Amino acid sequence: MEARRHVALKESIRSIPDYPKPGIIFRDITTLLSDPRSFRRAVDSLVHPFAGGRIDQVAGIEARGFILGGAVAHQLSTGFVPIRKKGKLPHKTVSMAYALEYGTDEIEIHVDAVKAGDRVILVDDLIATGGTATAAVNLLRGMGAEIVAACFVIDLPEIGGAQRLRDLGVPVRTLMEFEGH
């Protein structure tokens, strides 16, 4: 049954060739989000392994991680922590820089978003290189949080981001894989 659900979910993803540049196939989850049944199945599948366990916060990476993470937090009756690009949060923040293909970027969260010992699930739509997710893990751990898992709808395993997180000791849950970049 679970495998059939994930096939149906995979079919709800729109693939856009040569976006944002030639040779890249963009995996667009907005089609999944706009379909009530697919959206519900995705959230339920992300929540299932953690239902009934102790989760203190769900942290979502800007921007699609906000949509999915908020829904996951609601289902688990936990708080939600937005992880944003630098300069977007109004209160005192803690930030973490990370490498991009050409240059660097920074993410941040409020200084009081998590407490030492909080059990946190990290959520985003897709894991590719793992740069942003790795920075988010390091940021949350630096604040004393325990990362229970990192959850994504889509994994691009050839790029290696999920393995990068596993190498940091973070369990990774994905609902589907796509080949390529």
Q: What would the pLDDT profile of 87-128 be if each residue is shown by its tens digit?
A: 999 999 999 999 876 778 999 999 999 999 999 999 999 999
Question: Which is nearest to 155 in space by CA: 126, 121, 131?
Answer: 126
Burial of 108: CB neighbours in 10 Å, binned 0-12, 13-18, 19+: buried
Q: Which of 4, 40, 41, 101 is catalytic?
A: 101
Assigned CATH topology for domain 54-177 = Rossmann fold (3.40.50)
pTM: 0.93
Query: Domain ranges in the chain?
Result: 54-177
CB 129 within 8 A of CB 181: no
User: Using one digit for the tens of pLDDT, what is the confidence trace for 164-179?
Assistant: 999 999 999 999 999 8
Question: Which is nearest to 126 in space by CA: 7, 32, 5?
Answer: 32
CB 27 within 8 A of CB 13: yes
Q: Which of 41, 64, 164, 173 is catalytic?
A: 64
User: Using one digit for the tens of pLDDT, what is the confidence trace for 23-80?
Assistant: 989 999 999 999 999 999 999 999 999 999 999 999 999 999 999 999 999 999 999 9
Question: Which is nearest to 73 in space by CA: 82, 63, 62, 84?
Answer: 82
Q: Is 101 a catalytic residue?
A: yes
Question: Which is nearest to 51 in space by CA: 121, 125, 138?
Answer: 121
Q: Is 62 a catalytic residue?
A: no
